[in-house]
Amino acid sequence: MNVDTEANFANVETRAREPISTLLCISAYNQEKEIGPLIIKAKQYFDQILVCDDGSQDVMGPIAEGLGATVILHETSIGRIATLRNLLERSLEIAPEITLVIDVDPRFKPSEIPKLLSPIKSKEADVVFGVLQTNGADRLETNHGDLKRIFMAFSQKSLKAFLSPPSDVLESHTRILEVAKNYSLNFREVPIEMQELPNVSELETQARETSPPHTEITQQSNTPEMPKDKGIAQSFIRHISTKPYYFFGIPGLVALGIGIFFGVYLFDVYLTRQLIDLPYAFIMVVGVISGLFLLTTSIILEAFSYLIKNR
């Protein structure tokens, strides 16, 4: 997939000069089958659709462009929360009256979109949070407090609040509530019905027919499939980079503590017996050096992580 990111940004800025009432922001990754049906059904409710492709390896970007959406392409994945923040930043520049931000989910019914937009249109709310429903039962999808999917509508004045530090405010329902409360925003939860297994074959066919001839939607990605063991390794490395204080900071403190302990012990032995125990001296040196190295690594990675989230 070859999408000119700068051209897309310029396109957004050009269209931003025109008055925009409603903007749909879609966060997506490797979802070429779901993006077409979603755009086709949702575009009737919006003046503009913005899709943030977080480094996908399929042809999702060309499909979205062929259906009239503006695509922001990340050359490499920066993560879901950073992608959502990227979308909010672009929305702040476009300045629509209402912004709806969603993750791609094949169970989501675009017919539920008016429920999310209505409270803001009627000035009853500044922020609307979609609470997922499956088979009629409320079920806010969380994973240890982290939201797996997000369906939120924002008024123009509420966008800046959710772009203020910390950068991960969209990670959990609790943090979203805290931001709304701290900035005195009218917050409303709206139940949205989900479907278990949507039939999208007909809409996929329509997406293929309405796309420009140069967009080869049926083509397979030329990117070689990532070996399973490589994918696991990259996932592990990404997980480490999100919590450097846990993987480097704590072990560094332990190693430094061990080094200091043996250093004090050696100093005491030297004062009393005038002897230097080489094995203990070796443990002290290794402990101090590795401890300082791990602590320094933790601080550097934490700083990089903060800069990336808040760029």
User: Which residue, 225, 256, 275, sits at the end of a domain?
Assistant: 225
Bridging pattern class, strands 146-147 and 142-143: antiparallel
Mean pLDDT across 208-237:
45
Q: Tell whether 201 and 251 lie within a shared domain.
A: no
Q: How far apart are CA 39 and CA 149, in angstroms?
A: 17
Beta bridge partners of 22: 98
Sequence-distant (≥ 6) Cβ neighbours of residue 257 within 8 angstroms: 287, 291
pLDDT exceeds 90 at position 166: no
240-261 pLDDT, tens digit each: 666 677 778 888 899 899 989 9
Domain with 14 in it: 5-225
Tens-place pLDDT, residues 68-97: 999 999 888 888 888 888 999 999 999 999
Q: What is the pLDDT of residues 180-204, one digit of tens each?
A: 898 899 999 999 888 775 444 444 4
Task: Please tell me the predicted confidence (pLDDT) of residue 167.
Answer: 67
Radius of gyration of the chain (CA): 25
Task: Identify the helix (H) or strand (E) that includes residue 250.
Answer: helix 250-273
Q: Does residue 120 sit in the same domain as residue 194?
A: yes
The answer to whether residue 228 scores a pLDDT higher than 60 is no
| Count of structural domains, the chain | 2
With contact defined as beta carbons under 8 Å apart, do 173 and 189 qualify? no
How far from each other are the two terminal CA atoms of the chain, in whole angstroms? 25
Contact of 29 with 54, CB cutoff 8 Å: yes
Percentage of the chain modeled with pLDDT above 90 = 31
Which residue, among 31, 195, 190, has the nearest Cα to 113 in the 3D structure?
Answer: 190
Q: What pLDDT score does 16 carry?
A: 42
238 and 219 in one domain? no
**7-26 tens-digit pLDDT:** 444 454 444 455 689 999 99
